[in-house]
Amino acid sequence: MTEIFHLSTFLRRPIYDSDGDKIGRVQDLVARLGDDPHPPIVGAVIRIEGRDVFVSIKKIGGLAQGRMTFEGRRVDLRKFERRPGEMLLAEDLLARHLINLVRGRIMVANEIEIAPMDGRWEVVGVDPGRRSFFRRLLGHKIGSHVQTDSIVDFASIEPFVSHVPTARLRIPYRKLAKLHPAQIADLVEQASHEEGEEIIEAVGMNRELEADVFEELDTTHQLEFLESRSDEESARLLSRMEPDNAADLITEIDQERRLSILGLLPSEQQAKVRQLLSYNADTAGGLMNPDFVSVGASATVENALEAIRTSSVPAESLQAVFILNDAGQPLGAASIAPLVRARANELALSVARTQLAHVHPHWDVLRVSRKMSDFNLTVLPVVDDGHNKMIGVVTVDDLLEELLPQGWRAEFGMSAAEE
């Protein structure tokens, strides 16, 4: 079994020459970032008479035994300078925030774990546990037992760019894109502002994902990031958000910017947002999304399923296809399961619920939640006060978000760094 060692047990340890004389102390270990899941250690930063110099790992013996020796003929006394792609384990990682890409959490690196693997030393993991924090402060002799149950594999870790200034241009988008937008938003909220900007910049390679993440952020963070963006950039971002979420955010933006950003939205999105802004935020009209999937009274099951397939409506609003008459009044709602089970040439209305529960735009949140609960619905149609036309839907996720108290993520530890 491979023995794992704590980074902290090497720091500030003396290194000796072949005659047994101390020549300096270890300040840090240097690893090389690249395609390796476990970055190889290429050397150490040694302090010799007040100067930090680089010594190749190939010239250091006794790393696993606890008494390190310099096995070269002479030390290059040129001042150490970090090269592109190099990471200093103590300076860049220890006690720093890192991204745990498996759990979608920010973690604190209370200890860095290294191990000899196939003839070279590698960075194999990070320990966020409090035990490692206190052990690092109090100090333990090299070779002390490592509690591997709390170690996170370094292959699933991503350091922030600001921590490793010469390592890479940005946090890899392809890794973040594997997470759900809500998980990425949690990462942003757990991180510092600078770290959060790095995450937003990385997901910005996909404008749709950027908007999805932005929708999941709490209002405080949304406004914080919009402050550093121009009105044009802010409008571009809001244009990709769902109209109800964009309307909610517009009302929170400083009044002097509000009309400018609203005016820069595409005309179709702007019309939807203006409609939503005409309702109080805590009513069905303020909660609803004006985008939903609908077909006419003569539509077949095949027509309804095709409408779902070709729709750009968000998934949470796709729980049902609404059948409307020529005036836009709802005749029924067909859930996906009955549509899939029915014959393609049947009328969609024949498999729809025709005794349709609905709400009106000025109903308050509690009345909306009672209606949704009583009828066991995940999407609820909003019909204008005159029963003349269906104007939107309230989804269960938007209702829950409204009912949950402000700051609930912090209260339940969702925005705390992992230990």
Note the pLDDT tens digit of each residue in 51-82: 999 999 999 998 888 788 998 888 888 999 98
Longest dimension (CA), the chain: 96
Nearest residue to 181 (alpha-carbon basis) of 207, 210, 157: 210
| 6: Cα separation from own chain's centroid | 29
Task: Give me the mean pLDDT over the 313-334 stretch.
Answer: 89
Give the number of other Cβ atoms within 10 Å of residue 232's Cβ.
11
Q: What are the angstrom distances between the C-alpha of 320 and each of 314, 338, 339?
A: 12, 10, 9
Nearest-angstrom CA–CA distance, 416 and 419: 9
Nearest-angstrom CA–CA distance, 290 and 272: 7
- On whether the CB atoms of residues 86 and 31 are closer than 8 A, the answer is yes
Instruction: Quote the pLDDT of residue 129.
Output: 80
| 360: Cα separation from own chain's centroid | 35
pLDDT band at 324 (very low <50, low <70, confident <90, very high): very high
Higher pLDDT, 3 or 411: 3
- Range(s) of the chain covered by CATH 3.10.580.10: 294-403
Note the pLDDT tens digit of each residue in 367-408: 999 999 999 888 999 999 988 899 999 999 888 888 877 655
* Tokens, residue 161: 């760019």
**129, containing H or E segment:** none
Instruction: Quote the pLDDT of residue 143.
Output: 43
Nearest residue to 86 (alpha-carbon basis) of 163, 3, 177: 163
Note the pLDDT tens digit of each residue in 112-124: 999 999 889 999 9
Say whether pLDDT at 266 is over 60: yes
* CATH no. for 5-159: 2.30.30.240
- On whether the CB atoms of residues 95 and 413 are closer than 8 A, the answer is no
- Range(s) of the chain covered by CATH 1.25.60.10: 173-283
Task: Give me the mean pLDDT over the 251-266 stretch.
Answer: 93
Say whether pLDDT at 142 is over 50: no
Give the contacts of 96 (CB within 8 A, at least 6 positions apart).
Answer: 108, 109, 159, 160, 163
Say whether pLDDT at 150 is over 90: no
CA angle 366, 368, 370 (to 5 degrees): 70
Core vs surface per residue 117-138: b (16+ CB within 10 A) or e: eeeebbbbbbbbbeebbebbee
The CATH H-level (homologous superfamily) assignment of domain 173-283 is MgtE N-terminal domain-like (1.25.60.10)
The CATH H-level (homologous superfamily) assignment of domain 294-403 is CBS-domain (3.10.580.10)
- On whether the CB atoms of residues 94 and 104 are closer than 8 A, the answer is no
Nearest residue to 167 (alpha-carbon basis) of 97, 84, 61, 98: 84
By 3-state DSSP, what share of the chain in percent is helix, strand and coil, each rounded to 5? 35, 25, 40
| The model scores a pTM over 0.75 | no
Q: In what order do the strands lie in the sheet with 320-324?
A: 294-296, 320-324, 330-335
Instruction: Quote the pLDDT of residue 140.
Output: 47
Lowest mean pLDDT among 8-17, 168-177, 206-215: 168-177
Give the number of other Cβ atoms within 10 Å of residue 18's Cβ.
11
Q: What are the angstrom distances between the C-alpha of 244 and each of 71, 72, 253, 263, 275?
A: 67, 67, 15, 17, 10
